Chains A and B, each alone.
Chain A
Amino acid sequence: MADEPLLEAQGLERRYGERAALADVSFSLDAGQTLGLFGPNGAGKTTLLRILATLLRPHGGKVRVLGAALPGESWKVRGRVGYIGHDPLLYRELSGRENLVFHARLHRVAEPRVDELIAAVGMQRRARDPVRELSRGMVQRLSAARALLHDPPLLLLDEPYSGLDPAARELLDPLIGKPSGRTRVLVSHDIDAGAAECDIALGLRAGKQLGLGPPDRAELRRLFQ
């Protein structure tokens, strides 16, 4: 099974009521590669990411994530993906450290890993402040630490650099960027930065797959026109 792709979708479909959010989407991704998801707002990027994270059920087609067929084997995937979405998945009333300790308990990760990641994302000084008092960039850094707590083999990243200043971006790059060497699915609205990060680009518009292959900036720009 060594040659099996880490991620595979064939004819993937998802609807919200009558509206097709994804229609006939197919791709595959090997270990260590990055799949970039590109497209205008409402293209279906976040829906696709949430299906891969097991947060949404596919309504048609076949999807395999880390060797498990979704949705039937979703339980095999949970705890093996690191997810950074629009919401940081952090409780505002708890401190950053309390949040990470809570998630560490859910993932059965030892507490020293929490402090290791707090240091890695440069949040030692503010780790004990309530999340509601932190800036968006700081919350995003903690969100990255949360996603990495259990050292997942697959990262699902929905605009992970939004709200980050260049210094914070540099700090997170070895953790969630291309230098991390992790298998990733990355949603980005920044075509240049996104194309530089990915090995395969998947273009989406209104739920339909418009292209799949090595990132071509000119082609990706046409998606947004």
Chain B
Amino acid sequence: MMSTAWAILRKDLQIELRTKESVPAMALFSVTVFVLFHFGLQRNALEGDLAAGVLWVTLILATVLAVNRLFVTEREQGGIDGLLLAPIDRTAVFIAKAGALFLYLVLLELIAVPAFGLLLLEPDLFKPLPTLVLLLLLADVGLAAVGALVSALAVETRARDLIVPLLLLPLLVPVAIAGAQATEPLFSGNQAAHELGKWVGLLGLYDMVFLLVSIAVFDFLLED
């Protein structure tokens, strides 16, 4: 199964590398939103809960863009039939799509987080960076699992662009809460270890639940 998932993931990355449809759009969107917040809030720098909220909401909204595109090549180029005709475990399709989304999110964050640090963040980004990276990676697993599931659900609908945010954003509320709550002390310099542990635990639980649910139901989503 893992070799099939790798074949599908490699194909998706090859196509993304050539079309540049997802990651550049996500990155550009995020930087634009930071600029908008900069002017909208009429503040040169943010800290604490406001900074954490702006960062997480921006990343989650950028995720919607990638989720919208995740299954589009399969739909527009008939690739989904090719996958359905092959003697493969369909969980491999989920793993590949979630894996692709996870990589897109990591690439997005490599651009968006430094941009956020430069454009909006008051405190120094370097000190809280290791903890922030851990939080982002944990959140990315959940975002990727839920994103792949929602993308597969929405791809066969006519109003895909509408369905994806309507389904995805409510499901991502726990990520926004845990991410922002865990990040707030990092951006205000009063980090409390036990509080951080609670939110990391919540993100881990979210990842596990949605990975298991997605693997359990993904097969049925691809059925006629």
Contacts and interface: CB of A to CB of B under 8 A. Distances in A.
Contacts of A55: 81, 84-85, 224
Name the interface size band of chain A.
20 to 34
Contacts, number: 73
Contact of B224 (A56, A103, A106, A130): A56
Interface stretch (B13-21, B54-62, B109-117): B13-21
A60 interface: no
Given A87-B77, A105-B4, A81 B85 contact: yes
Contacts of A90: 77-78
Interface residues of B, number: 23
Interface string A178-208: 0000000000000000000000000000000
B65 interface: no
Contacts of A80: 87
B84 A106 contact: no
Interface string A88-110: 11111110001000110111100
A61 interface: no
A54 B87 CA distance: 11
A108 B87 CA distance: 9
A91 B79 contact: yes
A184 to B, nearest CB: 16
Given A85-B81, A94-B11, 9 more contacts: A78-B84, A83-B81, A89-B82, A91-B15, A91-B77, A102-B7, A105-B4, A106-B82, A130-B18
